[in-house]
Structure 1
Amino acid sequence: MANVRFVLLGGFLGAGKTTTLARLARHYTGLGHRVGIVTNDQAQDLVDTNNLRSQGFSVQEVPGACFCCKFDDLIGQIGQLQADQRPDIILAEPVGSCTDLVATVVQPMRDLYGSDFRVAPYAVLFKPSHGLKILRNEAKAGFSPKAAYIFRKQLEEADAIVMNRIDELSPADLDELTQLLTSEYPGVPLIPMSAKTGQGFEQLVALLDQEGAFGQRVLDIDYDVYAEGEAELGWLNLTASLSSEQAFDLDALLMKLIQPLAARLAAVEAEAAHLKLIGLDREGGFGVANLVSSQTGCELSLPSQKTVPHVDLVVNARVAIDPSILESAVREVLAEVSAGERLTLAIGNAQSLRPGRPVPTHRYSQAKA
């Protein structure tokens, strides 16, 4: 694996990491590079993995815990990509509720596998819908101070902060965001970008192509607060299939599912960190619907523009609510929409949980030279 470029891209749940990784993969592939991707989740059946594979990328997945706690699995999955595809570049997407990645992933990669990998600068995507409220210290920022602690720590260890989703911000909010980040994280480069439209993307590429003493910001972090903040989120990964004798509009179905679910969560004041649905038809088509906060609307982020008689559905929900209540709500909405649309519903796998305490495989107390 000598001289493989390793790009780790951080950011909170719903910050836009998967969209950014897909754009990066297309960019590097267009330059003639072979690209492999490793995704990461607390459970099996990740929407992001299905999404990226459906776009034609080579993807391996590390489930069950963050990269920091599954470091050896991360190396193993990179090895699998190497055996299958011999990539020049590895793109890695960690769990969105994870932090302390410089000490537990970047530094071990540099120290233990420095002869195999060239580690890129560590960029962290900023999520405006929750981030502006957290940086403003609003009383109702959507999450408790312990969950907000994780959000802030992610930014603190970044080599650069990527202000994503600028296409959704007003000029006034963008100016305020720039001032807040400059004040709280002085000296850290800021990159305004929209992964969706491509605006500012070339600045991110220029950063990731740099060589030098990056990945040096080892955190002073309270793992008790970190663990309690992660455990406030209910986690659900669920698969299902929906079918009918008559073909139906896949994109319309995804919106009919995600909108009432978002309404149910809002009714009980359960803040959504990220809610994602991907519908996969049996001819290779797919559509994706998203909700990135309780204050923003549901979005058909990747339309399929297909009419199909059958769809395989994957639901990922990360919400500040008891995971058993979350699972019940998803099952109820699936049943109600299926009945209303006269679809046959079959539930597959379902995993609902609260993330456990992070126990890193390696943790460097200070950066290696």
Structure 2
Amino acid sequence: MTTTTPKIRFVMIGGFLGAGKTTTIGRLAKAYQDQGLKVGVVTNDQAADLVDTNLLRSQGLQVGEVAGACFCCNFNELTSTVEKLSAEERPDVVIAEPVGSCTDLVATVIQPLMRLFKAQFDVAPYGVILKPSHGLRILRQEANAGFSPKAAYIFEKQLEEADFLIVNRIDELSAEQVEELVGLIQKFAPGTPILRQSAKTGEGFAGLIDMLDQRGAFGQKILELDYDVYAEGEAELGWLNGSMKVTADKAFALDEVLLGIVEGLRSELANAQAETAHLKTIGLWEGAYGVANLVSSDTPAVMSLESNCQTKTAEIVVNARVAIDPETLQAEVEKVVQAVADKHGLKVEFHQTQSFRPGRPVPTHRFTQPL
């Protein structure tokens, strides 16, 4: 008698930079684990030293990272990363977090999985998280939406290809703002189901799990996409991933350092009139970790996860996605980190910093007709 290995449920949650994908994925993974399921996570970035990977691993999750290109342009690395997770402890569910500036994921990731790996994967409906701060401005078609029309084009295409959309951060929005967002989405993407949730508090999360459990004709929205506009929109962002070690003779408050870095960058970038897509920094020390972030130029820097840690040493990772020249961005990051270190009496040892503009997307596979 032969036995068939159960398929891995493949869940991908998309959304623009700073939409709340990592927080959502962390909570979703915990919900699946509470059901007795084994969960693997695959993060994705244009470079190594990803805050999201460090954060999710710190939460005890089995995490693989696809670095150097987006899932669509490094599809084989995505599938091999899932295989590596399976070799360690085969997951029942894999949750994938794509790069926040990517779109066309139905044609280049979901359809290839459904066609070429249908024996291994059972693909869930594709959900995209709407980022309220930039979403309101872009969907209102404001003259100053924060980004150029080419970058806004990527944001809109992400919404267009989704099986369902998620209005996140409802704990930070008024009821009127939530309803305005829902109305704008209904006008932009009529017929697409809309969920309301707070990944931070868990409000509305049962609806997300129910949606992801559905089977049916999903992953069918193949985009008509201008890759020239797409590439130019991505290339407007300066991209930085950097890691460093800080040490001191006396214990310092890790959270104050992390928030100081992000707040300092918020101020410097505002002076440079450079729109922030996302800034995030994580500090790690002996099982403790804290995260500070900034999701747009018109919102405050916040501690999204407090460590409440006093320490004499910590490893810090900074990720920045900003509409500015990458070399300028790197100089600003190094200047602010040093200023915060001087303020707290810290010595900084920079490990590595990668700063660049994303290259033109060249998908491994692209299917122009749905399965």
Give the TM-score, by structure 1 length: 0.99
Cα distance per residue 1:284-328 (max 9 Å; x no partner): 111000000000000100100110110100000000000100000
Return 5+ residue gaps in structure 1 as ranges: none
Provide the C-alpha distance between the structure 2 equivalents of 1:63 and 1:314, rounded to a whole number of angstroms. 15
Matched residue, 1:113: 117
Q: 2:314 aligns with which of 308, 311, 315?
A: 311
In the alignment, the residues of structure 2 paired with residue 135 and residue 161 of structure 1 have an alpha-carbon distance, to the nearest angstrom, of 14
Deviation at 1:336, TM superposition (A): 1.3
1:60 partnered with 2:60: no
1:171 aligned to which of 171, 175, 179: 175
Query: 1:178 offset after TM fit, Å?
Result: 1.1
**Equivalence map 1:1-369=2 (5 Å):** 2-281=6-285, 283-368=286-371
Give the Å deviation of 1:343. 0.7
Amino acid aligned to 1:367: P
> How far did 1:245 drift?
1.2
Provide the C-alpha distance between the structure 2 equivalents of 1:234 and 1:65, rounded to a whole number of angstroms.
Answer: 15
Could you tell me which amino acid in structure 2 is paired with residue 164 of structure 1? N
Per the alignment, in what secondary structure is the counterpart of residue 338 of structure 1?
helix
RMSD of aligned Cα (Å): 0.7
SS in 2 for 1:228: helix
* Secondary structure of the structure 2 residue equivalent to 1:251: helix
CA deviation after TM superposition for structure 1 residue 330, in Å: 0.4
* Alpha-carbon distance in 2 for matches of 1:5, 1:175: 32
Unaligned runs of 5+ in 2: none
Q: CA deviation at 1:338?
A: 1.1
- Report the alpha carbon displacement of residue 20 of structure 1 after superposing the two structures with TM: 0.3
Give the match's secondary structure for 2:308: coil
Quote the Cα distance in structure 2 between the aligned partners of 1:85 and 1:266.
46
- The CA distance in 2 between the partners of 1:367 and 1:167, in whole Å, is 37
Return 257-266 or 91-100, whichever deviates more. Answer: 257-266
Distance 1:285 1:292 in 2: 23
Output the CA distance in 1 between the equivalents of 2:188 and 2:81: 36
For residues 60-102 of structure 1, give each alpha carbon's deviation from its aligned partner in whole angstroms, at most 9, with x where no partner exists.
0000111000000000000000000110000000000000000
Any idea what SS the aligned residue of 1:339 has?
A: helix
CA distance in 2, matches of 1:262, 1:293: 9
Alpha-carbon offset, residue 203 of structure 1: 0.5
Q: Which amino acid aligns with 1:143?
A: F
For residue 2 of structure 1, report the CA deviation from its aligned partner: 3.9
Residue 136 of structure 1: how far off its partner (Å): 0.4
Number of residues of Structure 1 aligned to a counterpart in Structure 2: 367
Match of 2:242, SS state, is strand
In 2, Cα distance between the equivalents of 1:123 and 1:260? 34
Amino acid at match of 2:298: Q
Q: How far apart in 1 are the matches of 2:183 and 2:237?
A: 30
SS of structure 1 residue aligned to 2:270: helix
Q: In 2, Cα distance between the equivalents of 1:82 and 1:301?
A: 31
Q: Describe the SS at the equivalent of 1:132.
A: helix
Superimposed CA distance per residue, residues 30-89 of structure 1 (whole angstroms, 9 cap, x where no aligned partner): 111000000000001000000000010000000011100000000000000000011000
TM-score relative to the length of structure 2: 0.98
Render the CA deviation track for 1:170-220: whole Å, top value 9, x for unaligned. Answer: 122111111111111110000011111111111110000011110000000
CA distance in 2, matches of 1:273, 1:243: 30
Distance 1:260 1:195 in 2: 26
Larger mean Cα displacement after TM superposition, 113-122 or 252-261: 252-261
Separation in structure 2 between the aligned mates of residue 155 and residue 334 of structure 1, nearest angstrom: 35
Match of 1:70, SS state, is helix
* Equivalent residue letter for 2:115: D
> For residue 127 of structure 2, what is the amino acid of its counterpart?
A
In structure 1, give the amino acid aligned to 2:364.
T
Identity rate, percent = 57
Which deviates the most, 256-265 or 5-14?
256-265
Q: Which amino acid aligns with 2:288?
A: G
